[in-house]
Each structure stands twice: as C-alpha cells, then as structure tokens.
Amino acid sequence: MTNTHPQLRQFWHPVALETDLESDVPLPVQLLGERWIVAKLGDELVAMRDLCPHRLVPLSAGRIVDNEIECGYHGYRFGASGKATTIPALDSSTPIPPKACVDTTPVTVRFGLIWLALVDEPIDTWLDEAPYLDPALDQFVCGPFETVVSAGILADNFLDAAHFPFLHAATFGSGDDGRPSLTVQRDEWTIVVTDQQTLDGAHFDEIEEAAAVYTVGAPFAVELRLDRPQASDLIWSFACPVDDDTTLWWMVHSYPLDGDAEKIAAAQALQHEVGLEDLRMLERMADPNIHLDLRAEVHTKADLGCVEYRRMLIDLHERTPA
C-alpha cells in the first residue's frame, strides 16, 4: 500500500505540530499528495486547499489579515468557509463571483498535532487522548522525522516487538529475548496486541519488566502502553503520508518524570535515537511500502500483530468508498 492509496482519504491524518502554527501566516502542509494550508482565524482552526482560485498561486504565500486569508498576489481574501469576502480589483457594488472560493476540509488538534481528513465524514478511529492530557505525566515529542519509508511500514515497525534486542540493543532492547508472546484482538479498524517486555531506558534505575499493550487505530496510529511495577509509560507513533516519496513521523510520549527537566531531556534523546535506529534500517528497503499480499513475506507467531495489521489494511484496500 502506497502513501497515496485512495482509501486513505477516509481517515484522519496528522500533518504538523500545533506549535508550528503562526498568528500572521497560514501553515502549508501536504497530505496524500495534496497541498493544504492550516490557519487560526480568530477562535476557529481552518484548513483550505493551498490554491487561490484567481491565478492558482499558493495561498501559503499570503498572510492572515483580520481573521481572513489574504492572497499575496492580488489581495483576494477568504473567510473560514473558504468563500471570498474581498476582491480589491472590484468596487464594493460588484458582486463577488461564486467561483471565488477555496475548498476546505475537516481539521482538529489531538496529541499536540494538527490532523486533517479529506472527506466530510471521516471514519472515527481515534486513540484515547486522556493519558496525553494527564497533568501528572510529562509530555515530549520526537520528530518529525522526514523519511522515504511509507506510513504503513512505520506503523508496522512500531508494532513489531521481535526486533528489539537486535536493532535496539544500544538503546533499550538489550535485555529482551526477541520472542514476544502475543495475544491479538481486532474490532474492524482497531487492533489490540498484548505482550510482556523487558526494557531499559534513560529514566529507569534498572532494567524492568513491563506489560505492553499496543493499540492500533487505522490507518497509521499506534499507541504503546508500558505498565511497569511502579509506573506506566505511553508512546504514540503517528505518521503522515505526505506523498508517495515522503512520510513525516512523530513519536509522542507521556512519562511520569515528575517534571524533572534532566530526565525529560534524557528520555527524549534516547527515544530520538531509537527512531533513528529504526530509520537507518527501514530506509535501506528496496521498496519501502507495506505488502498487502501475506505470501510476499515470511511470518511466524512473533508476527501475529503485524499480520493482523496487514489484514486490516487489506480490508481497507477492498472497502467500498463512502
């Protein structure tokens, strides 16, 4: 499955960090090979196609004026609905042409990321945001990593619990035996995988055992909850299918670090290196797209979660568009 498979339009996708938004210029983003802008117009977050209908220049080259998007070429202004409100070349008595409007699309913020959907009624596969919003936990982000690896491969890699002692021996996986004992359940567009893992980390005093619960929300969101004896860590993997050659990847974390800046920085540095370890391997693939033919790869019982994830993508591929 490539990053621009048409069925992916039915779901929400992350496109940028909320902190990337500026007050005076629209934020250009790309999703599924299409260019969009995101802007805060007053109290309303909006997403519009990055294309002025007048001379087809990008609206991202314009600015935000009086809670409207102003094109930088001829000063056309567009309100939150996408309809033009002002055309400077026309006097006030001349009606604005109905075609002077810009496509809009659903937009929201979750997990500190801006999400777009390219249909009016996207399928709801949201993961639970409550742990991210928990004031008792400390949040940090690794990424975005920009990579040629497809969003499907990144989600599959995050779900793969058998590669830790090999690829991640230098960071957190040296105590793991690489033989996960998995249970897998699926409910249409959600998969839950449980495992028992041996982990090391910058914020651990020693290697610890953890009950691991992976939750996949179609198509490319994965939560990992690690329940240790004294605490729980949560990591979310979110991938944006920019186009068929580019993916943006974030790992969002909620850890119980008591607001300790040094521990947070050390945990973030470790997880950043974990992401790089993954990418150094995955970017060597001749074809960085996930296979929908289960016969194309060898699978064992250590791959139960990854196999079920492929089955979910197969069902997505075969689904009749809404």
93-108 pLDDT, tens digit per residue, is 899 999 999 999 999 9
pLDDT of the residue at 321: 63
Distance of CA 211 to the CA centre of its chain: 24
The per-residue pLDDT for range 103-150, each reduced to its tens digit, is 999 999 999 999 999 999 999 999 999 999 999 999 999 999 999 999
Orientation angle between helical segments 261-282 and 151-159, nearest 10 degrees: 120
- Local confidence band at 198 (pLDDT 50, 70, 90 cut-offs): confident
Q: How far is CA 98 from CA 41, 70, 77, 83, 236, in A?
A: 22, 17, 14, 8, 43
8 Å CB contact between 15 and 38: yes
pLDDT(204) > 90: no
3-class SS of residue 260: coil
Q: What is the mean pLDDT of the chain?
A: 94
* pLDDT bracket for residue 43 (50, 70, 90): very high
**CA–CA distances in Å: residue 19 to residues 15, 78, 112:** 12, 23, 8
Domain ranges of the chain: 24-117, 130-318
pLDDT class of 163 with cuts at 50, 70, 90? very high
Contact 139, 129 (CB under 8 A): no
- According to DSSP, residue 127 is labeled P
CATH superfamily of 24-117: Rieske [2Fe-2S] iron-sulphur domain (2.102.10.10)
What is 130-318's CATH superfamily?
A: Naphthalene 1,2-dioxygenase Alpha Subunit; Chain A, domain 1 (3.90.380.10)
Give residue-wise pLDDT tens across range 222-257: 999 999 888 899 999 999 999 999 999 999 999 999
Taking only the tens place, the pLDDT of each residue in 51-103 is: 999 999 999 999 999 999 999 999 999 999 999 999 999 998 899 999 999 99
d(CA 277, CA 129): 27
Cross-strand partners of 247: 147, 241
Residues 219, 313: contact at Cβ < 8 Å? Answer: yes
User: What whole-number percentage of the chain has pLDDT above 70?
Assistant: 98
What's the pLDDT score for residue 228? 86
Q: Strands, E, within the chain: which ranges?
A: 12-17, 27-31, 34-41, 44-49, 63-65, 68-70, 77-78, 84-86, 107-110, 113-117, 138-147, 183-187, 190-199, 208-217, 221-227, 232-243, 246-255
Query: Which has the higher per-residue pLDDT, 205 or 276?
Result: 276
Distance CA 118, CA 92 (A): 34
